[in-house]
Amino acid sequence: MAVRKATALFDGSPSGQLPETYWYSVKRRLLGPPMVTEQLSEERLSKPLALGVLSCDGISSAAYGTEEMLIVLVGAVGVTAFNLILPMTLVVLFGIFIVVLSYREVVSVYTRAGGSYVVARENFGPRVAQIAAVSLLIDYVVTVAVQTAAGSAAIVSAFPALSRIPHVGPNEILTIISVIAILIMCYGNLRGIREAGRAFALPTYLFSGSVGLLIIVGVIREILGNLHHVHRYPSAVFAFGHSTQGILSFAMIFILLKAFANGGSSLTGIEAVSNAVSALRPPEGRNARQVLVIQGSIVMFLIGGISWLAHLTHATPYRYGYPTVLAQEADTVFGSSAHFMFYVVQAATAAILFTGGNTSFSGFPFLASFVAGDSFLPRWLTKRGHRLVFSNGIIILTIISLTLGLVVGFNVDGLIPFYAIGVFTGFTMAGFGMAKYHLRTREPGWRHKLVINTIGGVYTVVVVFIFAIVKFSEGAWLIVIIGPILVFALIRLNREYRAEARILETIGERRASGVPQNQPNYTRRVVIVFVDDFDLATLAALRYAKSLRPTTVRAVHFVIDTQQAERLRAAWLPDRSVSLEFIDCPDRRLTRCAADLVSYEAETAGTQVTAILPRRSFRPIGRFLHDRTADKIAGAVSRVPNAAATIIPFDVQNRVRILEERHAARDGNAPAAVTPLPGTPADGMTAEQQDMAAAVAAATPREEKAEPLPGAGGYDRPIPPPGVTPIGSLHQPGKATVEGRVRVVEIRSVERNSVLACEISDSTGDLTALFYGRSRIPGLMCGSRVRLRGPVGIKHGAPVMVNPAYELIVPHSGGKPPAGEE
């Protein structure tokens, strides 16, 4: 089977190549040149680099975890909140500790990418694993909105003047910054930015270092007795409540649970290491455990320190999300003497939050492709795009996260209810999945590991229920409803894929076992050409219909406009072999009439019917000016037994351009006007009809070899390097060394032998290499570059090599390329 590049197709134009489409040219300018598959490589991360790259999502949640707890406590118990924040923080830190211990077992056993989805799939089966898949996909979507909203709040906290821009409301400025940030992340990821770079690790270390310094300086100032409360900002603060309820009353318990649920957002991102274990250097499991423990320790230190400073300074959350609690603490702790450190903290906070949001642009598409590979999501999510990234997943994530942010608002407190249910559901699946793994394998030390993972599963499932209850009315109801619906949809889609696979497997088994197939033996083949106008597209369809060598060819026009039918009758080419039939269609249901006609023909025993439909394709604006009748008719005809539909596309603008160029070349740049052919009409055709037939022949691509491309280079046809014979200069048999890019690899049958045929191209021409007795050569694939040495023969005017010595060229490798000889 041959795999050909679309850009190498020849359209018969003088230039020798099809012009690029408008939208492809736009995409190429925006995203850069396409990347070849051989450039898809995975960079293994060292532990310091992995800590910076994989921990940014988890560590960044420390920026808003304390503030989310204070929002609930301040509104309920007033200043007492600054005392309650400490025990609440201890409960959250215990949760982080449990989750880290649980995921240490995950990364020890499952050293492939996938995290809780793989754990659930391997231990509970693929259907139950879709619960983890849906929860993680929701988590990725909300992470983008939450992280960008928090990053925008950090920017406005550093530059309060942004909130006072005329005609821009206090919430609108956060929306503007967040939307711009998401679009930039989408564009950057479509271009193929690599998260494994050191630039993505820098925000993690900068944030951890600056906030760590903030905590240390704050504690020192408290010891010295010169740390004061924060001053109030001219912005709307959350109203202070009054502690009138007992600490054990039902209302107070509900408030504490609500605060704990908000603070549970600090646990998000801890699972990121388990989702990318395979990206670490060997031994992957041990390195992943160490990175995970360090990440958890940093998160616990930062959250504990920020909560302690909030207890000391009484940093208060504001209704619009800025200035943030962290910004107030930095302003108070560093003061005027070291105020530049305030901007350092804010810059580091914004950087790590945006970087943490960007991790979803690699995590969501990768997980979606993983699930699609298991046939639970559409297969097109597994396709890599122009720059070797999962472009479809990136675009879907962008659309959904923008929609969520614009509907709910880019405010962290408003988005939190959508956040943690998905995160903690994934934690639960991982914890209970590992518990089942330990019970099944009973490896050394399995009992204490079972206890750890069971506690982790119980803890996180309790958090899921707490979130679903206390945050239900604030938006969690949507996740509670949409989650099961998505799980059902994924399982239903998988059922469709499995049904298709069973049909294909049955056919394959019957062929392999030698069971004869019920092959139809058609004694009569009818081709019907549906005609709506007499033009080049119709004549091209007639030429194709005749090339099928059918028993009968019919040209049919459905009459819905009598005047149009009369014009068509007068203009119809009076070809003796194809007469035009007119069939009345009074109700104008062309699709139904076409299906009825085909069904009537197909009812005759031993008859196979093919419907030919010419479809004129126009420039993008023309698509809005013309309907898609051919597609509708083809869909109806294809459902008729013993019938098939073929659409013959006809590019109107391209054919006009070709005709103009050929007329200009023939007439010496004269106007490309169509002149009647002299003489009497031949075969009963008028002069206009002869000219129409001549135009079709001129517009049909000629079967001729493309001329060498002058100065060609780049991706498709590289320029021959020094010391290599240009392929275009090979006109006589002899020996040569050539180099080019592989365009076609296929298995051919030559003289009862199996031959691996490889077509390579350089900027001067094409050459075919035949490897007898081979079905595959590792590394020899479409897109790779190869150097061939050996005798050259000429067949049908084109150079051919038989069993040449080959050398695979790897441009980015400094070592000697692999070579082989046949």
State whether 417 and 270 are in the same domain: yes
Asked if the structure places residue 86 within a domain, the reply is yes
Average pLDDT over residues 586-610: 84
Average pLDDT over residues 723-742: 90
Contact 787, 807 (CB under 8 A): yes
Average pLDDT over residues 417-442: 83
Neighbours of 367 (CB within 10 A): 26
Please tell me the predicted confidence (pLDDT) of residue 687.
Answer: 46
Which residues pair with residue 755 across a beta bridge?
Answer: 748, 772
Gap between the Cα atoms of 238 and 193, Å rounded: 40
Q: What is the pLDDT of residues 518-573, one digit of tens each?
A: 555 667 888 999 888 887 788 888 888 888 888 888 888 888 777 777 788 777 75
Cα–Cα separations (whole angstroms), residue 819 to 162, 493, 647, 658, 719 = 62, 45, 46, 45, 21
Burial class (CB in 10 A: 0-12, 13-18, 19+), 24: middle
Examine the pLDDT at 375 and tell me if it is beyond 60: yes
Asked if the structure places residue 473 within a domain, the reply is yes
Query: What is residue 500's three-state secondary structure?
Result: helix
Average pLDDT over residues 46-67: 82
Please tell me the predicted confidence (pLDDT) of residue 653.
Answer: 62
Last residue of a domain, one of 472, 493, 514: 493
Neighbours of 478 (CB within 10 A): 16
Examine the pLDDT at 800 and tell me if it is beyond 90: yes
Q: Which of 202-211, 724-733, 752-761 has the lowest mean pLDDT?
A: 752-761
Please tell me the predicted confidence (pLDDT) of residue 318.
Answer: 83
Asked if the structure places residue 4 within a domain, the reply is no
Q: What is the pLDDT of residues 161-201, one digit of tens each?
A: 887 887 777 778 888 999 999 998 888 888 876 654 567 78
Q: Which residues of 388-415 are buried (b: 16+ CB within 10 A; e: fewer)?
A: bbbbbbbebbbebbbebbeebbbbbbbb
H or E element, residue 647? strand 643-651
Instruction: Classify strands 580-584 and 552-559 as parallel, antiparallel or unpaired.
Output: parallel
Residue 733, domain extent: 727-820
Confidence of residue 2 (pLDDT cuts 50, 70, 90): very low
Please tell me the predicted confidence (pLDDT) of residue 119.
Answer: 85
- CATH code, domain with 652: 3.40.50.620
Q: What is the pLDDT of residues 462-480, one digit of tens each?
A: 888 887 887 777 777 788 8
Please tell me the predicted confidence (pLDDT) of residue 738.
Answer: 93
Cα–Cα separations (whole angstroms), residue 133 to 241, 273, 452 = 40, 17, 23
| DSSP letter assigned to residue 682 | G
Asked if the structure places residue 717 within a domain, the reply is no
Confidence of residue 707 (pLDDT cuts 50, 70, 90): very low
Q: Which of 270-279, 309-318, 415-424, 658-667 has the lowest mean pLDDT?
A: 658-667
Please tell me the predicted confidence (pLDDT) of residue 746.
Answer: 73
Average pLDDT over residues 695-706: 42
Contact 333, 228 (CB under 8 A): no
Contact 214, 220 (CB under 8 A): no
The gap from C-alpha 133 to its chain's centroid, in whole angstroms, comes to 16
Asked if the structure places residue 26 within a domain, the reply is no
Please tell me the predicted confidence (pLDDT) of residue 198.
Answer: 65
Q: What is the pLDDT of residues 67-123, one digit of tens each?
A: 888 888 887 777 888 888 888 889 888 888 888 888 888 888 877 766 788 888 888
State whether 58 and 173 are in the same domain: yes
Nearest one of 418, 416, 452 to 434, comparing CA atoms:
452
State whether 743 and 656 are in the same domain: no
Last residue of a domain, one of 444, 473, 493: 493
Please tell me the predicted confidence (pLDDT) of residue 702.
Answer: 42
Confidence of residue 811 (pLDDT cuts 50, 70, 90): low
Asked if the structure places residue 29 within a domain, the reply is no
* CA count, 13 A, side-chain hemisphere, 730: 30
% of the chain exceeding 90 in pLDDT: 6
Examine the pLDDT at 351 and tell me if it is beyond 80: yes
H or E element, residue 527? strand 524-530
Neighbours of 377 (CB within 10 A): 24
Instruction: Classify strands 785-795 and 798-802 as parallel, antiparallel or unpaired.
Output: antiparallel
State whether 659 and 732 are in the same domain: no
Gap between the Cα atoms of 213 and 236, Å rounded: 29
State whether 622 and 750 are in the same domain: no
Q: Mean pLDDT across the chain, nearest whole number?
A: 77
Query: What is residue 244's three-state secondary structure?
Result: coil
Copy the structure tokens of residue 476. 């969690």
Average pLDDT over residues 576-596: 78
Copy the structure tokens of residue 564. 């149009």
State whether 447 and 564 are in the same domain: no
Gap between the Cα atoms of 140 and 118, Å rounded: 17
Q: What is the pLDDT of residues 597-608, one digit of tens each?
A: 888 888 888 888
Confidence of residue 813 (pLDDT cuts 50, 70, 90): very low
Give me the sign of the Cα torsion angle 10, 11, 16, 21. negative
State whether 222 and 345 are in the same domain: yes
Please tell me the predicted confidence (pLDDT) of residue 654.
Answer: 66
Q: What is the pLDDT of residues 479-493, one digit of tens each?
A: 888 888 988 989 888
Gap between the Cα atoms of 545 and 552, Å rounded: 10
Q: How many helices (H) and strands (E) does the chain have?
A: 24, 12
Residue type, 757: A
- CATH code, domain with 348: 1.20.1740.10
Copy the structure tokens of residue 733. 């048999």
State whether 470 and 549 are in the same domain: no
Please tell me the predicted confidence (pLDDT) of residue 402.
Answer: 92
User: What are the φ/ψ torsions at residue 379 (nearest 5 degrees)?
Assistant: -65, -25
Please tell me the predicted confidence (pLDDT) of residue 239.
Answer: 59
Examine the pLDDT at 669 and tell me if it is beyond 60: no
Please tell me the predicted confidence (pLDDT) of residue 514.
Answer: 54
pTM, 2 dp:
0.70
State whether 549 and 685 are in the same domain: yes
Examine the pLDDT at 149 and tell me if it is beyond 70: yes
State whether 545 and 655 are in the same domain: yes
Confidence of residue 361 (pLDDT cuts 50, 70, 90): confident
Gap between the Cα atoms of 51 and 196, Å rounded: 11
Q: What is the pLDDT of residues 386-421, one digit of tens each?
A: 677 788 888 999 999 999 888 888 888 778 777 767
Gap between the Cα atoms of 697 and 658, Å rounded: 12
Query: What is residue 98's three-state secondary structure?
Result: helix
Contact 230, 309 (CB under 8 A): no
State whether 267 and 204 are in the same domain: yes
State whether 375 and 443 are in the same domain: yes
Asked if the structure places residue 722 within a domain, the reply is no
Asked if the structure places residue 737 within a domain, the reply is yes
First-to-last C-alpha distance (Å) of the chain: 22
Gap between the Cα atoms of 813 and 503, Å rounded: 45
Please tell me the predicted confidence (pLDDT) of residue 710.
Answer: 38
- CATH code, domain with 797: 2.40.50.140
Number of domains making up the chain: 3
Confidence of residue 377 (pLDDT cuts 50, 70, 90): confident
Examine the pLDDT at 159 and tell me if it is beyond 70: yes
